[in-house]
Structure formats: C-alpha cells, structure tokens
Amino acid sequence: MKTDNYGLIKVAAAIPNVKVADCQFNASHIENLINEADSNGVQLVCFPELSVTGYTCGDLFNSTLLISQAEEALNDIVSSTAGLNIISIVGVPVSVRNRLFNCAAIIYRGSIIALCPKRHLPNYNEFYEMRWFSPSGEAPCEQTVLCGQYVPFGDNIVIDCGQFSFSTEICEDLWTPVPPSCQAAMSGAQIVFNLSASNELIGKNAYLKQLVSQQSARCIAGYVYASAGFGESSTDLVYTGKGYIAENGVIIGQSERFSLKEQLVINDIDVNRIDSERRRTSTFKSSPASGSSRHIQVEYEVPSFNELHRYIDPYPFIPKDDDMRAVCGEIFNIQACALATRLHHTGMKSMVVGISGGLDSTLALLVCVKTCELLGLPKSSVTGITMPGYGTTNRTYTNAVEMIKRLGCTFREISIREACDRHFKDIGHDPAIHDVTYENTQARERTQILMDVANQTGGMVIGTGDLSELALGWATYNGDHMSMYGVNASIPKTLVRYMVRYVAENEVDSSVREILLDVIDTPVSPELLPADPNGNISQKTEDLVGPYDLHDFFLFYTLRYGFTPSKIKYLAEIAFKDIFDKEAINKWLKTFIRRFFSQQFKRNCMPDAPKVGSVCLSPRGDWRMPSDASARAWLEDIDSL
C-alpha cells in the first residue's frame, strides 16, 4: 500500500481574525487555525504578513514591548503546536542586531526551521514600511537567536522536506520585476508561500489574482497567498482576507472576500505534476538562477492518505462551459487553417472524405467545408463518399447522405458489399465468420476506394481518426489508419462531440444543424458487423474497448504528466466515483495500457496531422516511443495501490 499521496501536498491559506498589537489574542487564533488545519490533513499552512502583531501597528513597531510580546506569542505558537505534523508559516517582526525585519517564521515540531525576511519594502502612498523595517539585503547575519533557538536567517532559503520543497516571499516581493520566488523555483522550490497584507482598492483584486496565477505559471509551481483580513485597522485602509491557491497558472482555491469570519482555504498541490512540467520545459531547466539559495533539510513525516480537497476533473480535455465556444472555435480554425496550408502547398483543390454518419467523419467533413471557405473554393471541391457495408444502419446512412448534400459537397455512394464478397472468395474466407479478417476487409476496401477517387479528382484523402483511436490502436492498419492528411488526429473522442455541437450551433444553417444534432446522439460504432434484427447498431465500440470517458482520462495523465498507472487509477476513482466502480476502472486501465503499448507501430507511421492541444501522438515530435516497448512495469504498477 502506497502512503505518499502520489505527490499531492495539502496546503492551506489561513485568514485569522486579529486585534492590532494584541499578540496574545492573535497567537491564540493562529494556534486554533493551525489545529483546524492539522485536523483536515493539511501539511503546510500559511498565515498573513505580520499576523502575530497585526500589519497596521504603525509606529508601535518601534515599541520594545510590542516586539518582545511578539516573540513570546511566537514561542507560545511553537510550543502549543509541537505535537502536530504540520508546517506552519507565520508572519512576525524580528529584531536582529538593532534592525527590525518583517519575517516569515517557518515552524515544525516545536522548532523554528527558518526566518525569511521581506526583501522589497514599499515606501509610497499608504505604505511606509521602511520607516520601521529593514529590507533583507541589510541582514547582518545568516543565523539569529529567536525563542531560545538558533535559527537560519535569510531571504534565499529553500526548505527541502524529501517529497517536496518550498520557499516564502512576503507581499511586495511578488509585485517586483523579479520576485524572490523566481530564484527559489529555479533552485528547486515546488511551492511558494506568500504572507501578505494587501488592502482593498477598486480593481486591485482582479490584478492580484492574475498576478498570483501568472507567477505560479512562470515558476511552474504551486503558489499559496494569504493576506490580512478582518481586524486589521481600517483607519484609512480595508483588508478583506484574500486567500488564493494556484498551481501552474490555474487558481484552484480561493477565500471569500469581505468575510468577517476566519477562513482556511485548503487544497492539494500536485508536486509530481510540477516536476513533470519542469522536466519537459527546456527553458526552465536552462534559465540560470540569480544568486544562490540555501537549502535546509527537514525530516518531514509524510502523512497517510486522507481525503483530497482538490477537484479532479473527469473530463480534462473538455473546456469549461465559459470557455467552450471560444476553445472549440479556435480548434476548428486550427484544423481548417492546417488543411488549407497543405492544400495550398500541394496545389490540390479537391478533398475526399469517407462519411459514415458518425462523429469523427462528420467533423472531418465540416473541417473540409470550412477550408473551402478559407481558400475560396466551391464546396463541391469536397467529395463525400458513403460506402455502405454489412453493418451500415439506416440511421447512419441517411444522416451521411443528407449531410453531404445539405452542405453542398459532391455526393457519391459506393457500396463495398460486392467487392468484399469477391475478396472473401479470392482469399478463401467464409463471410459467415465475423472475425478480424471480416472487419478489416471492409475497412481496407473503403480506404482503397477513397484513395482511388482522390487520384481521379486530383485531390487528397482527409483522415477522420481521432486521438483516442490512435492511443488505443482502434483502427485497421493501412485501412482507416491511413490517409493523406488527418485533421482529427489530436482531438480526443470526448471532445469530438463538443466540436460537432459547436459547428452545429455556430457555423451552419438550420437544415444542417438538424442532421448534426442527430449524429451527436448516435452511438459510437465502426459498423463492421451486421445490424440487429431491428436494424439498429449491434457493434458499439465502448462495449469492446471500454468507455472513452475513462480512456481519455487515462490518456491525458499518461501523456501530459507521465503519471504512474497507480496514480492515474487513484485519481480516476475520485473523478468517476459516481459513474464507474473501482473494478471497472481497474479493468479498463489495464486494457488501455496493453493497447497503448502494443499499438505503437500504427502511430509510428501515422499521416501528418495538425496539433491542437498539449497532448498529441505524432511520432515526429510529441510522442517518440519504440514499437516494441514492454508494458510489464506499467501493468504491475496498477495493482500496487
């Protein structure tokens, strides 16, 4: 049984209520939130800037009593949380050799691991920190004494905890041209904690949220931001308790602004995912860190599994509702522009597509029509061929015929039955035996027809196969596996349906829309076996190879982040907990792994195709894998959870 949570580190941004200059009150609230965070399985919790004293003490920071009270309060926090397996990051003023520093105190198991002073101090408008504090550049030493402990001191410290590494920066540090977190990330910090006290102004929060998101993307890191909330002085400024958790450009958790209640914003940062992104990003690896970082090793006890706060999207390829129209429109235009470039380069003005009445061929036909618009070609330049076979049903046949005609394309119908019957006779195959020979004969006959018609019209065959089919090898080698250009090859099956719906709603008239909506509702099938007695589809792809919902989930995390099968299985059980049971997930994950490894030979000779997203299987750049690689280790890993 694995106990490392697969690199999912539970973090929290804590927003306590404070009383300005009442260190005892503030310490008690900090302790309560640390205990609450620990009970929720949080591994690291971050508090706002100067949370022990309150940020808005002003000239009270010159008071010896306030600074000594702050140290006593910090000592209480250290002592009271010593028995907890949680790292706490608390804001506190610290006097070092007659200078006062605005610090992040990192606490674990009764020890202050490090003190990290603020590097950049604002000294404008409502902020006059340089009136009381010194910047970290004026630090007179690399170690100081606090709460009776010798503590590492500096703004370049990275804490290494075995499974993960982290660093801190404070408020204004983030707003500078080169935040300290950039150096820390280049030195290995996977998570950055920002202790802040940012007041509220019109429009400021939107900018701040974008800043946090972009810094996490720039550093390819997790970023936890905790800012002062209720209780900070409103003499001139208002603090609304802003808490954000971001991972590589995406906000995955946020607080409720303007709340008078204390808050814990909890989520899980995937450091495995961060490591994967950094390994594949050559510019990240080649960029030098400015200055050197000090690494402090901590023997952190990795907790056992606990419930994730992180949302695991079961459909990682599907755009969010707010982005759906824009993303699908962009993908559609990428497909069409890519095909237009290929036609322009070759001088060809004809496209040939085999139309089955299913989703994939429908999308390919729509891309061809869009390409005609871009190139100023008549839609009759697209030849849509329906090739009825043994398993063709009336529904798909009718949709195919009507769609081709209503789009204004050239329509041709060429039955493959007679040719396949003759071929079975030539090779001595009994057509009553519905085996792989029976099915592949039909696929290859259709491909031969398409290729020859393309020769007749001086054009090219446009492939219809999608990314999911390529991953599973669900294509007949040198049959539907082959074309002269494949426009759908980097679009997964779960997304194809949304692409067709986008075109139906935005690119065609009502007569075509009617057909497209019925295609969307048609079961996915190669229609290579005879229909049932009622004339309905008898061969449903997902009954044979498994649900595409699962396979696309497996594909995304296998290719995009290189996760282990056991971690993918763990995530899938969370994402699909109300849809598939654990046995089904286990079964189809093994199917995916077996097919993904065994079918690489088909991908190694796949036609050119446009890349539209971050996951692609082109052997010319995105996925380079030997056809004979063994799947043994991956299959064994599935059973390790």
Residues that are catalytic = 49, 118, 171
Q: Which two tokens stand for residue 367?
A: 């891309």
If you search the block for the tokens 């999911």, which residue do you land on? 468
Cβ neighbours around 371 below 10 Å, total: 25
Three-state secondary structure call for residue 244: strand
C-alpha closest to that of 101 among 144, 65, 72: 144
Q: Residue 202: what residue type?
A: I
Cα–Cα distance, 300 to 85 (Å, whole number): 8
Cα–Cα distance, 271 to 13 (Å, whole number): 17
If you search the block for the tokens 């982040």, which residue do you land on? 561
Q: What are phi and psi of 634, to 5 degrees?
A: -70, -40
State whether the Cα torsion 353-358-364-367 is positive or negative. Answer: positive
State whether the Cα torsion 88-90-95-99 is positive or negative. Answer: positive
Q: What is the DSSP string of 498-535?
A: HHHHHHHHHTS-HHHHHHHHHHHTSPP----S---TTS
Distance of CA 30 to the CA centre of its chain: 33
Q: Residue 593: what residue type?
A: I
The neighbouring-strand residues paired with 103 are 92, 117
- Contact (CB, 8 A) for 256 and 147: no
If you search the block for the tokens 């993307």, which residue do you land on? 217
Count, residues in the chain: 641
C-alpha closest to that of 253 among 197, 212, 296: 212
- End-to-end Cα spacing for the chain: 6
C-alpha closest to that of 497 among 298, 251, 319, 269: 319
Q: Which two tokens stand for residue 172?
A: 């204004």
